Amino acid sequence: MRKKATIIAVTSGKGGVGKTNISVNLAVALSNLPRRVCLFDADTNQANANILLGLHPELTLEHVFNGQHQVENILLKAPGGFSVIPAASGIVDGETLDEVRRKRLSDALATLEYTHDYLLIDTAAGVGRDVLFFLKAAAMIVVVITPEPTSLTNSFALLRVMLRSEIKVPVRVVVNQAANIQEFRALFRRFQAAVEKYLHLKVEALGYVLNDATVASAVRLQRPVIYLRHDAPASLCFYEIAKQLDRLVQSQTGIHDAGGLSKAVNGAISTKNTPHALQPSNAQIDLTKLDAAQVASLLTHAAKALETTAKSEQKNIASALEELIDVFITRFEDLPFQLNRTLYQYLELNDYPKETLRNLVQTLETLYVRREQRPLHDIESNIALIMSESHGDKQRMSLLVQQVINAFSRQFDHSPLLSMAQIKAAIIQAQGDKGALEELKTVIETLMASTPESSQREGHEKASTMGPVEAPGTTSEHHATRTL
């Protein structure tokens, strides 16, 4: 019996991190090994994979399970030699389909599983129900993160929701838009440490993709960057990720057998994980189908119940609230509270912790510089800020000034030039110090003696002892003027 395809779900905690770009180029790189690859565009709202590949699909899986077409008819051939299932809508609702349509869909997916080596699923971003469905069906989950702080926090939230949904699929991490291998290693270790410490979940690195301008050019041309330029820095990274992934699959290292998408559609994998405690004992209510008023009422009752909850349950309730906020942000693309007010409340409750404030300021400034490509403050403002922090400390301020002067001298090979007014002010300031004045006098006399004008004057004085010498066309008066 032919081996079934390995299902790899590529996902992220937020949009805009290059998840679809990685899915598309990974499909190309795996095809070049060579492997038979099919890419599922599972983000029905965006369909970014089609856009990146310049494809314009007319058929989807809906035409398959409605009996209008065979699965072979909806497959699209993409640049790079792999197949694409456009906007895979309908899969998540497989459990609600009637028996005939569910069998059609299951048979179609089974056909794909036995005719390909890899099924890459480009999920939507966030923690929606459809995302969790595909993650449960995968043999491996690839989480894409970037150096942006919001990417790390949202990916952390995604892993937390996975745990609560009892998704026990191995997780590999790809760092996108890394400046270099050092940034990749530092960022992954920081993310890995937080996940292992707070979620007790093991994650491994799959690779990284360098920040490469060729990627943006490829997106504009609607082509995979590998297809556009195979030797671009980002392309080489994709080749390496594909090789690493294929090695893991061939050796069955960190691979989970979930049964595949066809089995998931048949109901073996349920996404209905509503805790029993939330369901009323005297009625069966589908909490996923409540209207807005019912949801608001449910949350109001939860808030009242929270007022009498034992403090020992704080950790469990905090975890549930975090998940609720994550879902709210994903659904409405906004925060359910005023961030400034909440931040001030946190700082006030913790007596404005020094280390937290410092880290917060540094993180925000780093994010600003990365996004705006310019410093938060200009040089003058930075210097003024540093000087103001001296708080009247004359010695410290003098040291700061000297450090600026030393930095100037190192860069330009001479000290900063002073204006005449500044020189006079310095001499007046030193008038109470006879030794300093004598030293200034010696320096001035030495400089005067070594200037070209001084040497020229000495030459004329020697010539005057020998009598006037007039060059043709000149007068003694003209020589006297030059000497003066």
Please, which residues bridge with residue 8 across strands? 120, 140
State the Cα–Cα distance between residues 462 and 406, nearest whole angstrom: 43
**Total number of domains in the chain:** 2
State the Cα–Cα distance between residues 116 and 38, nearest whole angstrom: 7
Domain-located, residue 236? yes
- pLDDT tens per residue across span 427-469: 777 666 777 777 778 878 887 877 665 555 555 555 444 444 4
Q: Which of 245, 268, 291 is the last residue of a domain?
A: 268
Cβ distance 169 to 138 under 8 Å? yes
Domain-located, residue 39? yes
Q: Which tokens in the block code for residue 184? A: 């990749």
Q: Which residue segment(s) compose the domain that 175 sits in? A: 6-268
The number of C-alpha atoms within 13 Å of 421 and in the hemisphere containing its C-beta is: 0
Q: Which tokens in the block code for residue 89? A: 């809508």
Cβ distance 222 to 54 under 8 Å? yes
Residues 6+ apart with CB under 8 A from 192: 173, 203, 205
Residues 6+ apart with CB under 8 A from 408: 415, 416
State the Cα–Cα distance between residues 104 and 41, nearest whole angstrom: 19
Domain-located, residue 280? no
Q: Which of 268, 296, 324 is the last residue of a domain?
A: 268
Backbone phi, then psi, for 41, in 5-degree steps?
-90, 90
- pLDDT tens per residue across span 115-170: 899 999 998 888 877 788 888 889 999 999 999 888 998 999 899 989 888 888 99
Residues 6+ apart with CB under 8 A from 388: none
Cβ distance 39 to 82 under 8 Å? yes
Domain-located, residue 367? no
Length of the chain: 484
Q: What per-residue confidence (pLDDT) applies to 442?
A: 83
The number of C-alpha atoms within 13 Å of 395 and in the hemisphere containing its C-beta is: 0
State the Cα–Cα distance between residues 368 and 376, nearest whole angstrom: 7
What's the helix, strand, coil split of the chain in %, to 5?
Answer: 60, 10, 35
Q: At what angle do helices 233-251 and 19-31 cross, to 10 degrees?
A: 70
Q: What per-residue confidence (pLDDT) applies to 473?
A: 45
Strand 76-77 to 83-85 pairing = antiparallel
Domain-located, residue 379? no
Residue 114's Cβ-count burial label (10 Å; 0-12, 13-18, 19+) is middle
Residue 197's Cβ-count burial label (10 Å; 0-12, 13-18, 19+) is exposed
State the Cα–Cα distance between residues 425 and 419, nearest whole angstrom: 10
Q: What per-residue confidence (pLDDT) applies to 206?
A: 95
Nearest to 227 by CA among 19, 36, 76, 21: 21
Sign for the pseudo-dihedral over CA of 345, 347, 349, 352 = negative
The number of C-alpha atoms within 13 Å of 123 and in the hemisphere containing its C-beta is: 28
Domain-located, residue 319? no
Q: What per-residue confidence (pLDDT) applies to 432?
A: 65
Domain-located, residue 474? no
Q: What per-residue confidence (pLDDT) applies to 261?
A: 72
Q: Which residues of the chain have pLDDT under 70?
A: 1-2, 44-47, 87-98, 254, 258-259, 265-290, 312, 379-392, 430-432, 451-484
Domain-located, residue 321? no
Residues 6+ apart with CB under 8 A from 460: 479, 482, 483
Q: What per-residue confidence (pLDDT) applies to 430?
A: 64
Q: Which of 268, 295, 330 is the last residue of a domain?
A: 268
Q: What is the DSSP letter of 195?
A: H
State the Cα–Cα distance between residues 167 and 269, nearest whole angstrom: 10
CATH code at position 55: 3.40.50.300
Q: What is the pTM of this model?
A: 0.60
Full strand arrangement of the beta sheet holding 140-145: 76-77, 83-85, 37-41, 118-122, 6-11, 140-145, 171-178, 203-210
